[in-house]
Amino acid sequence: MRVAGKLTDKDWKELACNLKPEENQNWGNAFHFFEERIRTRYLEPILTILDMEKYEGEGFAIVNLQCSLIETIESFINGWIYNQKENEDKGLVKNSWYKNTLHKDNRIGSVNSAEIFISFFKKRLPFIKMNINGLLFYQEVRCPLLHETQTKSNWRIKKCSSATESYCESPTSKIIYRDQFQRDLEVVIKNYKECLIERKNLGEIKKHELRQNFKAKFNHLCK
């Protein structure tokens, strides 16, 4: 099974055997899996649409993909996985986010999708300084884009080559500048790469845990 470009689950499992959170060896190769996964599934498709320049509504597709990319980035950083989880009281099985660990079948707590965006905009540079309300972004951008192909409550998606910030808020509107927003997402990815490979803390997440989360996430994807 391909999990990252031409890389397979077998490739990951062979590498994972030699990944140790306390040692720097092989973590550059590990992050290459992440880079290939998002390059082929998100970054190149997003850039292709950005280059269309038709201005006929393609910005909705761009930001929709960017929302999915945010979920991917933040879930890797925190070790959150999305899978079926049983409700023992009612005997039901439903899909849910929860924190995985390196221990088999060990699941910790649960996370709803809104919390992913709250965490991302509150904790990841350069978005911290923009004061984007993660809950409102989830409710008024991510969900309506996914389900109705539109934003809600005066959120706007625009292209402006002269804009320096990726987000601008006024009393009457909240504007996402799609190109600059993509630029800042790639800064988050760059910061994540540096911290994982060089064994640094990423915000509130300690360096050892950051690597454990990454490995546990990819282990889950390669099941």
Domain residue ranges of the chain, discontinuous segments joined by +: 2-130+182-221
Taking 50 as the threshold, does the pLDDT of residue 166 lie above it? yes
Across 107-119, average pLDDT: 80
Can you give the three-state secondary structure of the chain, one letter per residue?
A: CEEECCEEHHHHHHHHCCCCCCCCCCHHHHHHHHHHHHHHHHHHHHHHHHCCCCCCCHHHHHHHHHHHHHHHHHHHHHCEEEEEEEECCCCEEEEEEEEECCCCCCEEEEECHHHHHHHHHHHCCCHHHHCCCHHHHHHHHHHHHHHHCCCCCCEEEECCCCCCCCEEECCCCEEEEHHHHHHHHHHHHHHHHHHHHHCCCECCECHHHHHHHHHHHHHHHCC
Across 207-222, average pLDDT: 95
Q: How far is the C-alpha of 36 from the C-alpha of 89, rounded, in Å?
A: 41
167-188 confidence digits (pLDDT tens):
999 999 999 999 999 999 999 9
Across 147-170, average pLDDT: 95
The fraction of the chain above a pLDDT of 90, given in percent, is: 82
Give the pLDDT score at 103.
Answer: 44
Give the pLDDT score at 102.
Answer: 44
pLDDT band with cut points at 50, 70 and 90 for residue 1:
very high
Taking 70 as the threshold, does the pLDDT of residue 95 lie above it? no
Give the pLDDT score at 111.
Answer: 76
Q: What is the mean pLDDT of the chain?
A: 90
pLDDT band with cut points at 50, 70 and 90 for residue 81:
confident
75 or 81, which is more confident? 75
Taking 60 as the threshold, does the pLDDT of residue 101 lie above it? no
27-79 confidence digits (pLDDT tens):
999 999 999 999 999 999 999 999 998 889 999 999 999 999 999 999 999 99
